[in-house]
């Protein structure tokens, strides 16, 4: 289960988010991977809306800041949530 603290860390510091954490958050909020042949980009449409995200690989394993910010904006606009943190 994805924790709210992972989403909070992404909100607080979008420059320092691992790509793997972003992909986990994207999938946990209802976006679904659509594979595209011949490209390293990953496209994630949200099945309940017409919103989609593109996630590209980066050289150092970090997510691109603008892609993290786009994800956060989509989460806020669509009212999406992730799992609970343990008490």
Residue-wise pLDDT tens digits, 18-72: 999 999 999 999 999 987 777 778 889 998 888 889 998 777 889 999 999 999 9
Q: Is 55 helix (H, G, I), strand (E, B) or coil?
A: strand
Nearest partner of 71 among 86, 35, 58, 6, judged by Cα: 6
CATH code of the region 4-78: 3.30.920
What does the pLDDT read at residue 87?
A: 43
Q: What is the pTM of this model?
A: 0.85
Q: How far is CA 3 from CA 6, 17, 38, 75, 77, in A?
A: 6, 14, 33, 14, 20
Given a cut of 80, is residue 2 above it in pLDDT?
A: no
d(CA 50, CA 62): 26
Number of alpha helices (DSSP H) and beta strands (DSSP E) in the chain: 3, 2
Domain positions in the chain are 4-78
Q: Return the beta strands (E) in 8-71 as ranges.
A: 42-45, 52-55
């Amino acid at each position: 289960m994805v924790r709210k603290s992972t989403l909070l860390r992404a909100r607080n510091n979008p420059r320092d988010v691992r790509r793997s954490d972003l992909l986990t958050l994207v999938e946990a909020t209802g976006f679904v991977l659509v594979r595209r042949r011949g490209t390293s980009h990953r496209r994630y449409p949200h099945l309940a809306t017409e919103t989609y995200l593109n996630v590209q690989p980066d050289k150092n394993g970090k997510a691109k800041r603008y892609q993290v910010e786009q994800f956060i904006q989509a989460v806020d606009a669509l009212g999406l949530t992730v799992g609970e943190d343990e008490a």
